[in-house]
Amino acid sequence: MAVNSKRRKFYIYYLLVFTLLFGVVSKEVQASPSVSSERAILMDQETGRVLFEKDAHTKSRIASITKIMTAILAIESGKMEEEVTISNNAAGTEGSSLFLKAGEKVKLEDLVYGLMLRSGNDSAVAIAEYVGGSLEGFSYLMNKKASEIGMKNSHFSNPHGLDDHEDHYSTAYDMAILTRYSMENELFQKISGTKVHTSPNPEEKWDRKWKNKNRLLTELYKHSTGGKTGYTKLAKRTLVSTASKDGEHLIAVTLNGPDDWNDHIGMFEYGFKQYDYKIVLEEGTIDKIKNSIYKDHAYLKREAVLMLKDDEVENVKVEYKMLKPKKKWLKNEHVPEVVGNAVIYLDGEKIETLPIFFKVEKEEEEPSWWEFWAYSFQSILGVEGNG
């Protein structure tokens, strides 16, 4: 009996330990999203911090998420109210279509709606020919913009993403950068987040009505704010989407994702639950700089905000790198606009740098002789008090 009792206690102890360990492991597994996609990324839209990634820097075919670049270039062209005459080349484009007819005129804005909501390849070609002068000219603009915004592993050869060029590719990371840049534009935000758009169709008795193909936006995820779908035989399913919840704004990208809808929902839920915006530096005077010349004069024009987990806050460090101060600065003599930088580190890695400015005390000017006598005269007449 004593042996059985000891054995029973051992099993109970073993079970408790196993349960505890399993719970810890399960919690860790749940803390990181599982995705079906070959390549994926989750990025914070405000700060650009990568919250999750899976092979995010490998060059890949991207299919119709290419059209994010086409859309933002059209919007930035300043021609959105102009009418575009559809060419034979555009009308005959293969794949997903708005069924545009050669010779008809469509406002560029409507073409961009059709591009983003219905993924019209004919619309993409019409936009490229109008904005870039030709498909080659538009590809030049696409690559120029990619270089400007830091898409280092991307090359665009067409405006739609069809598999007609070997040198048309990007990465999950680069597409997140492009989406972050594009979402700064209010009109792009509006178009990307539109569920249904109606466009005039002068040759028929009815208007064109386009429903967005992005099911996250239209039915699957209440926090979805927009995005772009894509598919070709070689690229497989590609998806870019954005979501917002409680003031947080996230970007998700998946390449070759057989279950991409759920991949995106899982990444978004992970981001919203695990991370939050934290102010790591307040704007205004920097109290931690004790130098007598900088004291009450060194300041930041904006606050620094990071997307952090709760347990990461203590790992944030700030280093102030200042110019050698000069006494004459206190007399407003030859004061540089920027006198240093506040460098923010997370786990030893540099995350952000903010310029530090010097607040110049303005000396009150003594009133001129004329101002003195004018003031005295007004006082004598009793004007000063009541006008």
Which residue numbers are catalytic? Answer: 64, 67, 119
Other residues' Cβ atoms within 10 Å of the Cβ of residue 373: 11
C-alpha distance from residue 131 to each of 82, 84, 105, 157, 387 (Å): 11, 10, 15, 15, 61
Q: Which of 153, 151, 152, 164 is nearest to 124 (CA)?
A: 164
Residue with tokens 């749940």: 30
**CB 36 within 8 Å of CB 152:** no
Give the H or E element holding residue 248.
strand 248-255
Q: Calculate the CA dihedral of residues 286, 291, 293, 294 and round it to 10 degrees.
A: -20
- 199 burial via Cβ count (<10 Å: 0-12, 13-18, 19+): middle
- 285 burial via Cβ count (<10 Å: 0-12, 13-18, 19+): middle
Amino acid at 236: K
DSSP secondary structure, 92-105, as one string: T--SS-----TT-E
Separation between Cα atoms, residue 343 and residue 273, nearest integer Å: 28
- 320 burial via Cβ count (<10 Å: 0-12, 13-18, 19+): middle
C-alpha distance from residue 208 to each of 89, 98, 118 (Å): 21, 9, 11
Tokens of 158: 């067409």
**CB 148 within 8 Å of CB 76:** no
Beta bridge partners of 170: 60
